[in-house]
Amino acid sequence: PPRPRRTRSGAENSDKTQGFVLKRQMRVIPERAVLTVKRYDGLWCVEHEGEAFGHSREKEVAKAAANRHARAMQDLGKPCQVQVQGEHGFGFS
C-alpha cells in the first residue's frame, strides 16, 4: 500500500483524500456590527443598520464619532468594526 503523505500541518493524507481539504475545528468568529463612515450630500457621516449619525464637514470628526460609538458597543460585548468608504474618491454611492 502507498505510504500516507503528510501535509504542512502534519496531518496524514492518503491517496483518497489527496486534493480535498480536511475539515478541522475552527475558531468561531461572532457577527460584527459594521459602522461605515462615508460621504452623504457633501458631508461625512456614520451609518449603522440604515441609520446615519455623526454628520460633519470633516472626515476626522465623523471617524471620531464612529469610534466612540464602536467603543460603547464593544463595552456592551458586541464586536464591531469601523470602515471608511470613499476617502480616496472611490466607492461613492
Mean pLDDT computed over 43-68: 94
- Of the pLDDT bands very low, low, confident and very high (cuts 50, 70, 90), residue 62 is very high
pLDDT value at 48 more than 70: yes
What is the pLDDT, as a whole number, of residue 40?
A: 86
Q: Which of 66, 45, 48 is nearest to 56 (CA)?
A: 45
For CA atoms 85, 75, 28, 26, the dihedral sign is positive
In this structure, are residues 33 and 80 in contact, taking their beta carbons and an 8 Å threshold? Answer: yes
What is the pLDDT, as a whole number, of residue 80?
A: 93
pLDDT value at 20 more than 60: no
Farthest CA pair distance, the chain? 71
At 66, which helix (H) or strand (E)? Answer: helix 59-75
